Amino acid sequence: MLRLTFLVCCVMIGTLLIGPLPGSTLAAHVPGHSSDVPLVKGINSSVQSIVVFVSHSTNTCAVTLVVNSNGDVVVLRCEKTAVEQPPAVVVAKLFSDVITAPPLSNLPSAHPCVKSPSFGTSTVITFAAQVSPDVSCSRDTIGLTLYHDVYDILSSI
C-alpha cells in the first residue's frame, strides 16, 4: 500500500510540474498494469481527470480508471486498455462528490482495516494533487460515498 501511495503522489506531483495531463498518455506504474494508460485523444486542457486505483486480489486484476470530466473513462484492467462512456450522471456524481469533499488527503483513514489477505482490495482516488486513503475501508460518510461512486462507474462499464 505504501508503494501505491508513493506512486500516486509521484504522478500527482509530476502533473503539477508539467501542467495538465497531455491528450495522448498518462504514465502509470501500478503492479499488474502496463506503463502507458492512454487518455482520450484530442482532449483540451479544460478537461479535469480523477484517477482511481483499485488494487488486485487473488482472483481479480488491478484496475486503473482515468475519469475525465468530459465523460470518457479510460480503463486499464488486466493489461488491457479501453475507453468507455458510462452514463453521464455517474461521472457527474463522482466529480461533484470529489470537488465538494474536503481535500482527499484529509479524509480519515480507517485503522485497523481488516480485509481478507486473498480477496481484499484497496481503492485510492487522486484529484488535484490530493490522494485519498483507502476509501474501501472508510467509516466516514464522504469516503463511503466516494467508494460507491467509483463502483457505480465500474458497474456501468
What pLDDT, in 10s, does the model give residues 101-151?
989 999 998 777 777 777 788 999 999 999 999 999 888 899 999 999 999
Burial of 120 by CB count in 10 Å (0-12 exposed, 13-18 middle, 19+ buried)? middle
Contacts of 147 (CB under 8 A, 6+ apart): 123, 135, 136, 138
What pLDDT, in 10s, does the model give residues 55-94?
988 788 899 999 999 999 999 999 899 999 999 999 999 9
pLDDT at 23: 36
What pLDDT, in 10s, does the model give residues 9-62?
444 444 443 344 333 333 333 334 344 444 444 445 688 999 999 998 878 889
pLDDT at 45: 60
pLDDT at 114: 78
Output the CA torsion sign for 15, 17, 19, 22: negative
Residue 95 or residue 57, greater confidence: 95
Stretch 5-11: mean pLDDT, rounded? 47
* Helix, strand, coil abundance in the chain, percent, nearest 5: 35, 25, 45
pLDDT at 58: 75
Burial of 140 by CB count in 10 Å (0-12 exposed, 13-18 middle, 19+ buried)? middle
20 and 93 in contact (C-beta within 8 Å)?
Answer: no
pLDDT at 64: 96
Domain edges within the chain: 2-156
Residue ranges with strand state E in the chain: 25-27, 36-38, 49-54, 63-68, 73-77, 80-84, 123-127, 130-131
pLDDT at 97: 97
